[in-house]
Chains A and B, each alone.
Chain A
Amino acid sequence: MMQDQSENQTVDMMLNMGPQHPSTHGVFRMELQIDGEKIIDVKPHIGYLHRGSEKLSEGEQYHQVVTLFDRLDYLANFNNELVYCMAVERLLEIEPSKRTEYIRLILCELNRIASHLLYVGTIGLDAGAMTPALFSFIGRDRIQTLFESISGARMMHNYFKIGGLRQEVPEDFVQTVKNIIPSIRKDIDETEKLLTFNEIFLSRTKDIGLITAEQAINYGLTGPCLRGSGVAYDVRKSEPYSVYKDFDFDIPVGLDGDCWDRHWVRVKEMHESLKIIEQAINNLPDGDVESPLGRRLIRPAAGEVYVKAENPRGEIGVYLVSDGTDKPYRLKVRPPSFCNLSAIQLLLKNSWIADSVVILGSLDIVLGEVDR
């Protein structure tokens, strides 16, 4: 019987990758159907980190939900807190003070840089380069030390409050931010020199994991994954929220939509974020950061809002339904990583096993917000 078949015939094999695999960036499992080294089919499995954050928030009062948002995308805590606070503020029809908005924006952009620095380090590890991770963590540490001086925590800050900030920033905040900007710029440049145009890195990422603009939009990709395919879509520009319209910055876009383009977009974005921080810190208004609501219990009128913002990983949306009580009736988060990861089947089909690690790394997922 065996001799009848072609000599080149091989048997497909199932390979299980994850959930405790270091390159899956968390608890993510893929069932790879492989023929030799080639991936025939992929079946992604998520949900290992499902904590029911959306359901939990239905049992918490409005001001308590902020802590749950810290734990969604745990690498961009401030950005998550911002979008939730914006949603409730819109529901309550209140506006935070100008100083609050500026401080929020500075912290969000610093958080974006910290998140992207971690990405640059991990994509290096995925592609086999150890050193960039060590360098990028120096820069990330600078930012986290600053965060610690403001909120008391390096992650999970719980610093933004509905309508304001939990407390005033330290006295030396402006000077510290001004001091660390050149150091961070140096850190980014050093990391980039090690990686971006490195010949081995280029061969590992160029023309790997291609996705066209039409496909990316159809799969709901946003953030650097979409911009890598050449679509200049950024919520900060298209529908400016907070005080983003006061600032001058560009949206870097890629050309081909491969892993290297997604990497390049993120590196360029860090420089744009620094531009925003420089403008904001030089024009930081004086005033109060106290919420106009004071310490009152929050009871918005019945209604619903859909608010979106640009996170380091893409567009985050919050759909909040209120029934007039002190707890949300329904809170739905549109997590950017969830949509970005849904394209994994398309990206991995007909690629090599070795590339699958780099492709997954280039999507830069955080399982905390994929599973919620």
Chain B
Amino acid sequence: MEDKSEVNPEGSSGDEQPNPAVTKLKEKLDSNFANLGFTYFMTDSIPSVLVPKESLHDLCQFLNEDVLYDSKMLSCMAGVDYIDYCQIFYVLYSIENNFTVGVKCNSEYGLKIPTVSDIWKAADWYEREIHDLYGIEFDGNEDMSPLLLYDGFEGYPGKKDFPFYDYQEY
């Protein structure tokens, strides 16, 4: 019995039976991105891949242009604080094929993640929001002015170590 209080950042999948959608995604990506340290798993019902941040932009470009995955829409982009590192979860959606694929990327605090706002314009505001809440920098996205917070706000309120019932005078 595994310890339930621990968060498993690689999703709720198990090692038991690889899902056919995951196998399909792995086969597709192996032709272009073999031996780059990708991990494949299911996030809920979404076939997902965990990528090192060096390959993130290339992979997103590939999924955007690929005929099968055709991820023309960036549906959601979420940052999750796992204390030691921050995980960014990209939900990519193809309206044409009605297909969702998830991309995850881990980044330690203080390091930069390549931007995907040149592929999807929607990423621009999401990245600014994640920068506000987690302090993650996005390489290539110049405008990182506060979006949800105000100029001069101290700290990153999305992070777990941010005091919960504290407030700052504006």
Which A residues contact B (CB, under 8 angstroms)? Answer: 46-47, 50, 52, 54-55, 59, 90, 214-215, 217-220, 231, 233, 238-239, 301-308, 315, 317, 319, 321, 323-325, 329-330, 332, 334, 338-339, 342-343, 346, 371-372
Contacts and interface: CB of A to CB of B under 8 A. Distances in A.
Nearest to A321: B80
SS class, residues of chain A in contact with chain B: mixed
Given A214-B72, A330-B78, A346-B121, 11 more contacts: A47-B146, A50-B148, A52-B157, A217-B95, A218-B73, A302-B6, A304-B43, A306-B43, A323-B6, A324-B5, A342-B125
B121 A46 contact: no
A52 B159 CA distance: 12
B87 to A, nearest CB: 9
B21 interface: no
Interface in B48-97: 72-76, 78-81, 89, 91, 95
9 contacts: A59-B164, A231-B95, A238-B95, A304-B12, A306-B44, A317-B76, A332-B80, A334-B75, A334-B78
B147 interface: yes
B122 interface: yes
A55 B91 contact: no
Given A47-B150, A338-B125, A323 B91 contact: no
B140 interface: no
Nearest to B146: A47
Given A239-B98, A306-B76, A301 B4 contact: yes
Contacts of B157: 52, 55
B114 to A, nearest CB: 18
Contact of A302 (B7, B44, B133): B7
A55 B165 CA distance: 11
Interface residues of B, number: 39
B149 interface: yes
A330 B76 contact: no
A308 B76 CA distance: 10
Contacts of A319: 76, 78, 89, 91
Contacts of A219: 121-122
A332 B122 contact: no
Contacts of A52: 157
Given A55-B157, A304-B11, A304-B43, A342 B148 contact: no
B29 interface: no
Nearest to B160: A58
A95 to B, nearest CB: 15
B157 to A, nearest CB: 6
Given A50-B149, A302-B7, A304-B12, A233 B121 contact: no
Contact of B158 (A55, A231, A325, A343): A55
A220 B81 contact: no
Given A303-B12, A306-B44, A330-B81, A220 B72 contact: no
Interface string B23-45: 00000000000000000000110
Nearest to B78: A332
Contacts of B89: 319, 332
B100 to A, nearest CB: 8
Given A217-B95, A305-B44, A46 B148 contact: yes
Contact of A323 (B7, B74, B95, B162): B7
Contacts of B133: 55
Contacts of A303: 8, 11-12, 44
B149 A47 contact: yes
Given A52-B157, A306-B91, A317-B75, A220 B5 contact: no
A254 to B, nearest CB: 16
Contacts of A315: 75
Contacts of A306: 43-44, 46, 76, 91, 102
Contacts of B150: 47
A90 B75 contact: no
Contacts of A329: 7, 80
